[in-house]
Structure 1
Amino acid sequence: MAPEQDSNMLISAVALLGAAVIAVPLFRRLGLGSVLGYLAAGLLIGPFGLGLFSDPQAILHFAELGVVMFLFIIGLEMRPSHLWHLRKQIFGLGALQIGACTLGLTGVGMAFGFSPVVAFVGGAGFVLTSTAIVMQLLAERGDIALPHGQKMVSVLLFEDLLIVPLLALVSFLSPSVAAATDTPHWLAIVTGIGSLAALIFAGLWLLNPLFSLLAAARTREVMAAAALLVVLGSALLMEAGGLSSAMGAFLAGVLLSESTFRHQLEADVEPFRGLLLGLFFLAVGMSLDLSVVAENLALIAAAVPAMMLTKALCIYFVARLTHSSHPEALDRAVLMAQGGEFAFVLYSAASARGLIDAQVNANFTAIVVLSMVLTPLVVIVVRRFIQPARQSLDGIPIAEGLTGSVLMIGFGRFGQVVSQALLARGVDVSIIDSDIEMIRAAQGFGFTVYYGDGTRLDVLRASGAGNARAIAVCVDNRKASDRIVELVRSEFPQAKLLVRAFDREHARLLVGAGVDYHIRETFESALQFGGAALRQLGMEDAEIEEVIDTIRERDAERFALEVAGGGYEAGMGMLLRNTPQAPTRPTPFSKPRSEGKALNEIPGAAQASAPSSS
């Protein structure tokens, strides 16, 4: 390769990386999201910006591997049983949404003066939502595994399957001259089914033995290469059968979801997925042909909002028809209102077969790209200016007139474990929480949790705090915890106050506030973890208990000194002075266990826990 070509490749690589490194953090800092940052960076460095790249389609074709790898990772998270559980959403909800949107968008196309066939092609392409954008936005919000996220994933999977019959339909609708050279439809269907069967066979009977063999060789780079081979090979196999490459990668992930190598595969593919997906968004930004937009400004400026609004309304209607709540339906409509990357494939096929001309293809492509660019902005606007609907309290018991001897505030992961000990001994416990979804989930497991905000004095009184013998504060918000402690100590002094502490500093403040008991949430579990490590190394149980007790007492002494006014530095100094540098026995301390009883002189200090980071 000539030095000049090497230099050009380096310039291109530096431009792509530089644009992403600058734009994405900036847009995230502005609250606009990483997807919009990539799109804007691509537009800036593309042929219609600074002109650093002249052929964005070549980059886009390569960068679609990012979408392929993303679908592979999603497939790894979906076991076949889970996918079977989603079958009604995939084929029921998916078909209903696609059908409604296709009809609506075809009507919009005809309203703009296109013939029914051209309007259908334009609408069918716009129906195919951008998997990359929706999945990325869901991933950034952490919603992929949630029920409403799973519904969107199901529809996206159905759309990936839909590209095959749509391409066949385009071939069927094409003029007879162009259709004469087409592959027979029956042969295309047989080829697709054969590719799918070959992939399932390989996934069930070949891939696990292959990875077992490679794992025995203990060569990390070979395992990474095998992971990429599986992703790209499955995509190539499905593409050769006329199916979606992304669907092939997804199915490969599903087939490997119960493999013992699942986590290793995910770790190997993840870096490539992130980099290539970012490159895909950059290429989409570059693909926006501003000259086409300028020449057909009136058409495109009217068509983009018309198509997005029509598709959003159809999605919302279908969501409400299938019993989704208003917030969920609105969220799905906004996220899925854009066209997607498969539209480019459909429009290119339709143009090649004479269904649409080059000008219409360019217009449709510009409309889809603009919709993809606008989606992150629309999501931000909707979230900022439309207040979420208040959650319904139907079927939720309200904290009022409770009389339990113990009042527990907060029923998260900490409170759930605490409640088991009390309920097991028949203690009358009243539990309140302000998370409606958690209360509904608790009802499914037989727990009665009342709705109430523990930071409000009236709610505490209604919850029986005035008659409770003990109040356990188990909330997972430090600010709320401090407010509850202040109220209880001031208004309900008869109750013993037990509080979950978040770290060492919080524990000191709780002791100063006069709580009767506190525990730092990670300390005791960390001690047990350390003891288990010593046990695995062959140490006797009695010696392990001595080590743990000594650590606990040392920490309690240090904590007592900090509470008494010496501060963290004094406590650490005391700890270090009593820790020998080279112990003669396998324990970190040589001071006798009997030293440490002084901590009983400080109320609440006996519940000391981990170092300051815990």
Structure 2
Amino acid sequence: MNIHTLQIILLLLAIAVITVTLFRRFHLPPILGYLIVGILVGPFGIGWVASTEDTRFLAEFGVVFLLFTIGLEFSLPQMIAMKGSVFGLGGSQVLATGALATGIAWALGIDLNAAIIVGAILALSSTAIVTKQLSEQLELNSEHGRLGVSILLFQDLAVIPLLVVIPILAGTGDQGMAVPLLLALLKAALVFVVIMAAGHWLLRPLFHEIARARSAELFTLTVLLVTLAAAWLTHEAGLSLALGAFLAGMMLGETEFRHQIEADIRPFQDVFLGLFFVTVGMRVDLLSLLPILHWVLLLAAALILVKGVIILGLVRATGNSMSPAFRTGVLLAQGGEFGFVLLDLSLESSLLPGPVGQILFASIIVSMTASPFLIRNNGRLAKQFCTLRNFSDEVQIIGDLAEETEQMEQHVIICGYGRIGQNLGRLLDHEGFPYVALDLDPTIVREAHEAGDPVHFGDASRSEILDAAGLSRASVVVLSFEDHASAMKILHRLQEFRPELPVLVRTRDDTHMDELEAAGATEVMPEAVEASLMMGGQLLLLLKVPGSRIFKIMREIRENHYKLLRDFFHGEEPLDMEHDEAFQERLHTVTLPKKAFAVDHTIEDLHLWDWEVSVTAVRRGGIRGETPAPETRLQSGDVLVLAGTPKHLERAEGLLLYGH
């Protein structure tokens, strides 16, 4: 079906907006939404949009802009410092995965040359998915994030010689393999030197001049020019567009304009990257895949499992601990977008049989579809894996913990040894109070224990771990993490064995404060509310309020369970049903017009408490009255300040205005 170009763009935008909005609403990765859009509107779906070379070329700019922003995060000195991870770890991963996949493909009867390309395709991972997901999760600079990006950088560099090798293996080259490979490497080195020199001698002065013009439009245009010019330069040299963009980003990352450049390029990256995944989805022929679906799923599962295990083993072999090694394996277990480039070239060169290409293509897409879910939960999976792995050593763990706490009396048990737990430990140590800490992050446990901190690997919700930590002799238990479900489990355990023991619980806000106190928490410290209180105390001090008065105010607020500070206006923020914000009390104002149902009624008449809503204040004639009496009769123009959950506030507003 032929549609005008503008209509195609509008169609893609409309379907993408609807699909991505739904996926965001249900907390699903947007990348999956883009893939589904491509499947729906592509030539093998409804057929509204044709998958052309021009469309795929345009979509490749998503990867170009993505590699540019990655380059901004990695300076040249940083790259030199990471050479062991990039070339050592990255090279080992590509060789090990490629060799294994090549051997299996050859054993299954595929021609050796074709098997080599199969191995190369399956050795690559998705730079687009991994870096985008890590960036959204703020894990790009974490240990596993840096390890993953290092391996991805080598994979992207490895594509260059592979693009030269494929025509030679297909028999289309008239010369040996050494000369074209050497030529490609010389081109890459020349382009690298040119871009580095331009970055050092031209880009910084150029951006200084652009900044002096104080024009946001000119600054954005210059960023686009530099990005696309670098990509064009590497493309003209027979290399990938993405390599030039990465080098340009790396050069601009050395300048003081890095953060502004990243903010300006982000919208272009997101739009084109979305288009890239739409074009990937367009290639899926669901009908032709049905007869071979079992092979597709089998290969996808084997790819994720085997590739993840190989990466885990290699990262462990370099001296990294189990947790970042496992998380790096989870990050890179999928196939990649450059695999599609190699696959297309191999099919055009008749190097791969058509059915093999279809199975490979579909398997890579399945692995890429599963990848956002795996990456999003990589930390949780690592904790479960490390817990299972240490199950056989559990007796030793409990024994070591019991031995360390054997001589402790009236000590503190800190559950969770993140930043807050560590700070509490230092404070206790400074004042001479004994303590023992428990955590499920093996990296934290190992490093802190090596530093001499009394921290052990263990799940504090298990009675045998608490018993080994000396619960019967402890004076206080502190829960320093944010996980509400885990906190409730631990509180129930403590109520079973030592209900009289004081328990201090940290929470992000006051959403579950009452529930935690009912479960046995002696004190609940909601971070957001406590920060407001501490900042308010400092503010009053600057306003010359006597310290004794400030101390009294803060003590009264805490004794009243932060009642004065718990309700607030939330604005237009979305309600997250998964994280309970939708059930948190908030403030909401309702202005009564002349014909409102509540006019001439008293607050008591309205029975708002039936909806679990309270009137905290009434503003009339510019004067605000706090905690109005139940017999207060409401008038036209009154502004009521209500407190309650969003659902109950909506019903209460309907009652006040319309009587139902």
Tell me if TM exceeds 0.5: yes
**Per-residue deviation, residues 536-563 of structure 1 (Å, max 9, x unmatched):** xxxxx96445299867755654665678
Deviation at 1:370, TM superposition (A): 1.1
Which residue of the partner structure matches residue 263 of structure 2?
A: 267
Task: Say if 2:316 is the partner of 1:323.
Answer: yes
Q: What is the aligned length? A: 565
| Matches for 1:249-260 after TM superposition, within 5 Å | 249-260=245-256
**Per-residue deviation, residues 215-272 of structure 1 (Å, max 9, x unmatched):** 3333323333333333323222222222222222223333333433222222222222
| Matches for 1:576-591 after TM superposition, within 5 Å | none
Which residue of the partner structure matches residue 415 of structure 1?
A: 421
- What letter corresponds to residue 6 of structure 2 in structure 1? L
Which residue of the partner structure matches residue 358 of structure 2?
A: 366
**Per-residue deviation, residues 456-482 of structure 1 (Å, max 9, x unmatched):** 555444433443444444343345445
What TM-score, normalized by structure 2, do the two folds share? 0.69
Deviation at 1:303, TM superposition (A): 7.8
Which residue of the partner structure matches residue 596 of structure 1?
A: none
Measure, in 2, the Cα distance between the counterparts of 1:243 and 1:71.
14
Measure, in 2, the Cα distance between the counterparts of 1:484 and 1:177.
68
**Per-residue deviation, residues 572-606 of structure 1 (Å, max 9, x unmatched):** 9999799xx99xxxxxxxxxxxxxxxxxxxxxxxx
**1:503, 1:612 within 8 Å by CA — same for their partners in 2?**
no
Which residue of the partner structure matches residue 275 of structure 2?
A: 279
Measure, in 1, the Cα distance between the counterparts of 2:512 and 2:119.
58
Deviation at 1:369, TM superposition (A): 2.8
**2:529, 2:566 within 8 Å by CA — same for their partners in 1?**
no
Task: Say if 2:244 is the partner of 1:248.
Answer: yes
- What letter corresponds to residue 408 of structure 1 in structure 2? I
SS of alignment partner, residue 288 of structure 1: coil
**1:235, 1:246 within 8 Å by CA — same for their partners in 2?**
yes
**1:20, 1:37 within 8 Å by CA — same for their partners in 2?**
yes
Measure, in 2, the Cα distance between the counterparts of 1:176 and 1:370.
27
- What letter corresponds to residue 375 of structure 1 in structure 2? S
User: Taking CA–CA contacts closer than 8 Å with sequence separation of 6 or more, which of the two structures ends up with the larger relative contact order?
Assistant: 1
Distance change in 2, residues 1:365/1:516 (3 Å): closer
Task: Say if 2:29 is the partner of 1:36.
Answer: no
Deviation at 1:365, TM superposition (A): 5.1
Task: Say if 2:545 is the partner of 1:546.
Answer: yes
Which residue of the partner structure matches residue 43 of structure 2?
A: 47
- What letter corresponds to residue 168 of structure 1 in structure 2? V
| Matches for 1:189-588 after TM superposition, within 5 Å | 189-288=185-284, 305=298, 309=302, 313=306, 316-317=309-310, 319-320=312-313, 323=316, 336=332, 339-346=335-342, 356-357=349-350, 360=352, 366-376=358-368, 388=385, 390-392=388-390, 397-399=400-402, 401=406, 403-410=408-415, 411-456=417-462, 459-481=465-487, 492=498, 497-500=503-506, 502-504=508-510, 519-523=525-529, 525-526=531-532, 543-544=542-543, 546=545, 554=553, 557=556
- What letter corresponds to residue 256 of structure 2 in structure 1? T
What TM-score, normalized by structure 1, do the two folds share? 0.74
Mean alpha-carbon deviation: is it higher for 311-320 or for 38-47? Answer: 311-320
- What letter corresponds to residue 415 of structure 1 in structure 2? G
Which residue of the partner structure matches residue 153 of structure 1?
A: 149
Deviation at 1:348, TM superposition (A): 5.6
Which residue of the partner structure matches residue 608 of structure 1?
A: none
SS of alignment partner, residue 316 of structure 2: coil
SS of alignment partner, residue 450 of structure 1: strand
Deviation at 1:530, TM superposition (A): 6.5
- What letter corresponds to residue 372 of structure 1 in structure 2? I
- What letter corresponds to residue 405 of structure 1 in structure 2? Q
Distance change in 2, residues 1:129/1:415 (3 Å): closer
Measure, in 2, the Cα distance between the counterparts of 1:178 and 1:18.
49
- What letter corresponds to residue 411 of structure 2 in structure 1? V
Deviation at 1:197, TM superposition (A): 0.7
SS of alignment partner, residue 129 of structure 1: coil
**2:72, 2:252 within 8 Å by CA — same for their partners in 1?**
yes
Mean alpha-carbon deviation: is it higher for 463-472 or for 226-235? Answer: 463-472
**1:104, 1:310 within 8 Å by CA — same for their partners in 2?**
no
Task: Say if 2:8 is the partner of 1:8.
Answer: no
Measure, in 2, the Cα distance between the counterparts of 1:473 and 1:138.
28
Task: Say if 2:23 is the partner of 1:17.
Answer: no
- What letter corresponds to residue 90 of structure 1 in structure 2? V
Measure, in 1, the Cα distance between the counterparts of 2:306 and 2:565.
65
- What letter corresponds to residue 263 of structure 1 in structure 2? H
Distance change in 2, residues 1:476/1:527 (3 Å): same
Measure, in 2, the Cα distance between the counterparts of 1:452 and 1:177.
60
| Cα RMSD after superposing both structures | 5.0
SS of alignment partner, residue 506 of structure 2: strand
Which residue of the partner structure matches residue 84 of structure 2?
A: 88
Distance change in 2, residues 1:135/1:542 (3 Å): closer
**Per-residue deviation, residues 185-240 of structure 1 (Å, max 9, x unmatched):** 76554433221111112333433333333333333233333333333232222222
Measure, in 2, the Cα distance between the counterparts of 1:245 and 1:458.
57
Distance change in 2, residues 1:253/1:485 (3 Å): same
**1:403, 1:463 within 8 Å by CA — same for their partners in 2?**
no
Deviation at 1:288, TM superposition (A): 3.3
**Per-residue deviation, residues 297-342 of structure 1 (Å, max 9, x unmatched):** 77x9758855874796466346436636899878766765655433
Deviation at 1:99, TM superposition (A): 2.4
Measure, in 2, the Cα distance between the counterparts of 1:566 and 1:311.
49
Deviation at 1:279, TM superposition (A): 0.9
Measure, in 2, the Cα distance between the counterparts of 1:568 and 1:40.
41
SS of alignment partner, residue 408 of structure 1: strand
Measure, in 1, the Cα distance between the counterparts of 2:427 and 2:138.
32
Measure, in 2, the Cα distance between the counterparts of 1:60 and 1:312.
30
Which residue of the partner structure matches residue 128 of structure 2?
A: 132
- What letter corresponds to residue 342 of structure 1 in structure 2? F
Mean alpha-carbon deviation: is it higher for 373-382 or for 248-257? Answer: 373-382
Mean alpha-carbon deviation: is it higher for 493-502 or for 80-89? Answer: 493-502
